[in-house]
Structure 1
Amino acid sequence: MSLPVPGSAGDALGVLSRFRVEFYECLYARADALFELTDAVLCKEGPVQTLVDLSLEAEYRRGHGALYQALNAGWAEPARLRSLLVSLPVPRAVDGRIVLAVDVSTWLRPDAETSPDRLFCHVYGRGRGKDQFIPGWPYSFVAALESGRTSWCRLLDAVRLGPADDAAAVTAAQLRDVVAGLITAGHWIEGDPELLVVADAGYDLARLAFLLADLPVEVCGRLRSDRVLARDPAPHNAAPRPGRPRMHGAPFALARPTTWGDPQTETRTDTTRYGTATAQAWDRLHPRLTRRSAWITDQNVELPVLHGLVVRLHVEHLPGGRDPDPVWLWSSRTGADTTHVDQLWRAYLRRFDLEHTFRLMKQTLGWTVPKLRDPAAADLWTTLIIAVHTQLWLARPAAQDLHRPWERPLPAQKLTPARVRRGFRNIRAKAARPAAAPKPSRPGPGRPRGSINRTRAPRHTPGKTTKRAESLEEHYGRRP
């Protein structure tokens, strides 16, 4: 069963206390040190700049050695923690629909030669042609989005992508676990509208929709402006001809307006930030799949035809006076009615709220600050950061605006995550604190003075360890 939605400050403290107790029970090793480490991140004044500074906070009652031991030897049960996160209140869109966003954020480790499982992560530069590929750990996040302009979202899960992982398959399995948990918790029942999954252009939208076809999920994401889709073939009125029937009709090239034709639906909406937003929709378009890369299957199995809805969004102006370029969206659900089209492009704009969360995690909560060698320790630290952000989200109704003299006051319902964290020490005093007090002990002897560590740590080369076949000949040629 899911926890009740916190309405007042008292309800929020009750839900927050229950989450803190159940989160403590998810920590199976070094539970006390890990729990107090999350409290130190929550109550620290200012951004987390070094990991060892957290041991100086009053909420962390142990030494700095216990801090590092907790991250290197601690463990949090992932399945139980995921069930706990999805059982909490989930934000919904204006129409009551649950909107999930998926995206990848990187933990860059360019100089960590002794850290395994690093991949080359794409990093955007500030100028044209300045993109780089830097070694690091990419993490796939799933979050529930809110409605309206906000910097909040609810983090539900995070999975690190390994060198042998297929990003689309890992994301589909991650979404499957999250959706199953939401259904088990009672957030979605039979008869409710489908959950909407929003992704960016880096995802294979057709494959995600194909892998999640048995779930009540609609996949929506951005298309590159050079994509070419296809319509259904026109019916033949003449006698049937020998040969294989056609699967694809006339092309629909996003870069060639002469191939579009008249849209089935067109809506115009006045916005306060972008002026007039015009959305045009074309129904029952599908990508042309080929037996390459992820779609290599048995030759006797037909490739699927995945119909969807294509939406072209064009706004009047962008903030800062930049010239707007049209945005193309593809949805796995057909039906080009005006309500559906408006839901798609509004939900896609809300996807950028997840970027605010990534910036908060990196610049304020110190997600990428520790120089950890073991990827398991990095996964545990990521879990603690998600727990920190979840507690901030639950504490919103009980938070007060402790703004600086030069800052503009904000109402309680519009407090940012940083301002909620600024007053969390006062909220923590009223919430449950299940961690036990530390026991007196003596520090270990450590390495003898003057000795030299002669055990060289192994070096690891970043990059993929498996190469996916790009053609049928290569695929079947690898078979023994």
Structure 2
Amino acid sequence: MSLLDPAGHVGSLAALSQFRTDFHDCLTGRADALFELTDAVLCTDGPVRTLVGLALAPEHRRGHGALYAGLNRGRIDFERLRRTVAGLPLPRAVDGRLVLAADVSPWLRPDANTSPDRSFCHTYGRGKNEHKMIPGWPYSVIAALEVGRTSWTALLDAVRLEPGADAAAVTTVQVREVVERLMSAGQWKAGDPDILLVLDAGYDVQRLSFLLADLPLELLGRLRSDRVMRRPTPPRVYAPKGGRPPKHGGEFVFGQPDTWGEPDVRTTTETSRYGTAVATAFDRLHPRLTRRWSRPKLRSPEAADRWTWLVIAAHTQLRLVRGLAADLRRPWERPAPPNKLTPARVRRGFRNLRTAVGSPAGAPKPTKAGPGRPPGLKNRRPAAVRDVGRVLKTGEPYSRPAHHKQGTKPRRVSD
């Protein structure tokens, strides 16, 4: 779609205007302040480095006090906003199926000792071969993927994982609700190809596939390189000395190719970009069971939830008009066709498109700044210091082992 296509241009602007109206209706408390904060995110050039800096954008006609009041005390009808986003046109694969991806994105807050409900988040790439646990708010995000090499996704949902939460259980409920909303919106009907759900190595694909077996889903997940799987139970053979028959077959260790054996299926495909691609499949393997953008400095996790959904609404608006934005590229950037612009480039021209659809937010009322705390007066109500929780797959609260406590010796436990 280009600016030379009047019908498509008008249609995209109409879709953007309708979504902006629906989004404003989802803001049930301090709606105008939250809506103009979203416009400031869309129209400000460059990354959002400070939250208060958004109050200087021309699209945010209110003061910085209204900005923080909207995030801290505003209200958003999240369920209505989720249904609105699910009803928008979504990208599909070549065969017409929906491809969803789920992942956990941490909002790191290591120095926010007064912020509640923080958990230890697993982070990568913070040092050479180092994976550190840093306090923050982890969010489980689900998005619809596009085909080909692109940085565009359709964000559908975001849920904050509370300390002690069972990540698999939360993901199961989240995926189930997303699929049900897509079915209610007519995005999937009986007879359509099953929805493909792509998962990273941090998810227990086997458990999720069992919990979501009643939905039209196919799960595709990565497995960690240190996983150990078991082969099917071998046929029962009479043993003269008796004994209990085995419950599992031999081990399949990912890091030891000598334990793999011959694959059940092997395919070879010639690709134009990566050369020869070889895929191998092993049937009936199961896990071995053992015992055992922008991050403003907000204090409240509820305010973090509101900010997260404001960003999702902003990203959705960029997706609706991605074919209409002009390529306002930097002198050192390569030209790109209109349908290949990244979200960052579309955001550069959103300020020009915003004037064509208007804003449902009302004009601010004239007022004056509050008195604030008098200079030299100490804060008599300091914020409480919060402990950091931990998200465990088992759903059990984390407790430090006794032998890790100072002044105690390790104790051996017999099998």
Answer with 386-395 or 230-239: which moved more. 230-239
Partner of 2:204: 204
Paired residue secondary structure (1:101): strand
CA distance in 2, matches of 1:222, 1:264: 19
Tell me if structure 2 keeps the 8 A contact 1:146–1:153.
yes
- How many positions carry a matched residue from both structures? 390
Partner of 1:390: 316
CA distance in 2, matches of 1:226, 1:102: 22
Tell me if structure 2 keeps the 8 A contact 1:176–1:212.
yes
Deviation (angstroms), 1:126: 5.2
CA distance in 1, matches of 2:242, 2:367: 85
Match of 1:447 among 355, 359, 373: 373
Answer with 128-137 or 140-149: which moved more. 128-137
CA distance in 2, matches of 1:80, 1:469: 32
Partner of 2:80: 80
Deviation (angstroms), 1:164: 2.4
- What TM-score, normalized to structure 2? 0.88
Deviation (angstroms), 1:82: 0.9
Tell me if structure 2 keeps the 8 A contact 1:71–1:381.
yes
2:68 partner amino acid: Y
Paired residue secondary structure (1:159): strand
Partner of 2:347: 421
Aligned identity (percent) is: 61
Deviation (angstroms), 1:152: 0.7
Partner of 2:177: 177
Deviation (angstroms), 1:155: 0.8
Residues 437 and 126 of structure 1, relative CA distance in 2, 3 Å threshold: closer
CA distance in 1, matches of 2:343, 2:397: 45
Work out whether 1:68 is the aligned partner of 2:56: no
1:283 partner amino acid: D
Partner of 1:327: none
Residues 49 and 128 of structure 1, relative CA distance in 2, 3 Å threshold: closer
1:97 partner amino acid: R
Partner of 1:377: 303
Partner of 2:14: 14
2:312 partner amino acid: I
1:15 partner amino acid: A
Residues 469 and 110 of structure 1, relative CA distance in 2, 3 Å threshold: closer
Residues 237 and 110 of structure 1, relative CA distance in 2, 3 Å threshold: closer
Match of 2:328 among 381, 385, 402: 402
Partner of 2:133: 133
Superposed counterparts of 1:46-125, under 5 Å? 46-125=46-125
Work out whether 1:147 is the aligned partner of 2:147: yes
Deviation (angstroms), 1:448: 3.5
1:32 partner amino acid: D
CA distance in 2, matches of 1:13, 1:425: 13
Residues 34 and 417 of structure 1, relative CA distance in 2, 3 Å threshold: same
CA distance in 2, matches of 1:123, 1:236: 46
CA distance in 2, matches of 1:262, 1:8: 54
Paired residue secondary structure (1:397): coil
Tell me if structure 2 keeps the 8 A contact 1:36–1:59.
yes
Tell me if structure 1 keeps the 8 A contact 2:120–2:391.
no
CA distance in 1, matches of 2:51, 2:94: 40
Paired residue secondary structure (2:356): coil
Paired residue secondary structure (1:267): strand
Deviation (angstroms), 1:430: 1.3
User: What per-residue deviation string (whole Å, max 9, x for no partner) do you get for residues 412-437 of structure 1?
Assistant: 11111111001101111112411111
CA distance in 1, matches of 2:106, 2:313: 19
Work out whether 1:468 is the aligned partner of 2:392: no
Q: How well do the aligned residues superpose, as a CA RMSD in angstroms?
A: 2.4
Residues 58 and 277 of structure 1, relative CA distance in 2, 3 Å threshold: same
Paired residue secondary structure (2:222): strand
Deviation (angstroms), 1:141: 0.6
User: What per-residue deviation string (whole Å, max 9, x for no partner) do you get for residues 336-379 of structure 1?
Assistant: xxxxxxxxxxxxxxxxxxxxxxxxx2xxxxx21x2111111111
Residues 146 and 51 of structure 1, relative CA distance in 2, 3 Å threshold: same
CA distance in 1, matches of 2:382, 2:184: 48
Paired residue secondary structure (2:329): coil
CA distance in 1, matches of 2:50, 2:128: 33
User: What per-residue deviation string (whole Å, max 9, x for no partner) do you get for residues 378-431 of structure 1?
Assistant: 111111011111111111122121223332111111111111001101111112
Work out whether 1:168 is the aligned partner of 2:168: yes
CA distance in 2, matches of 1:272, 1:35: 46
Residue ranges of structure 1 left out of the alignment (5+ in a row): 1-6, 294-360, 362-366, 471-480
Partner of 1:218: 218
Paired residue secondary structure (2:323): helix
User: What per-residue deviation string (whole Å, max 9, x for no partner) do you get for residues 290-310 of structure 1?
Assistant: 5x45xxxxxxxxxxxxxxxxx
User: What per-residue deviation string (whole Å, max 9, x for no partner) do you get for residues 185-241 of structure 1?
Assistant: 1111112221111111111111111221111112211112232222322334769x9
Answer with 46-55 or 461-470: which moved more. 461-470
Tell me if structure 2 keeps the 8 A contact 1:32–1:436.
yes
Work out whether 1:456 is the aligned partner of 2:382: yes
Partner of 2:362: 436
CA distance in 2, matches of 1:243, 1:181: 52
Partner of 2:282: 282
Residues 119 and 54 of structure 1, relative CA distance in 2, 3 Å threshold: same
Partner of 2:3: none
Paired residue secondary structure (1:120): strand
CA distance in 2, matches of 1:139, 1:178: 15
1:468 partner amino acid: E
Paired residue secondary structure (1:284): coil
Partner of 1:251: 251
Tell me if structure 2 keeps the 8 A contact 1:27–1:77.
yes
CA distance in 1, matches of 2:149, 2:126: 25
Work out whether 1:234 is the aligned partner of 2:209: no
Partner of 1:23: 23
Residues 186 and 432 of structure 1, relative CA distance in 2, 3 Å threshold: farther
CA distance in 2, matches of 1:16, 1:205: 37
CA distance in 1, matches of 2:340, 2:267: 30
2:142 partner amino acid: V
Tell me if structure 2 keeps the 8 A contact 1:267–1:280.
yes
CA distance in 2, matches of 1:266, 1:8: 45
CA distance in 1, matches of 2:243, 2:13: 69
Partner of 1:341: none
- What TM-score, normalized to structure 1? 0.76
CA distance in 2, matches of 1:283, 1:228: 15
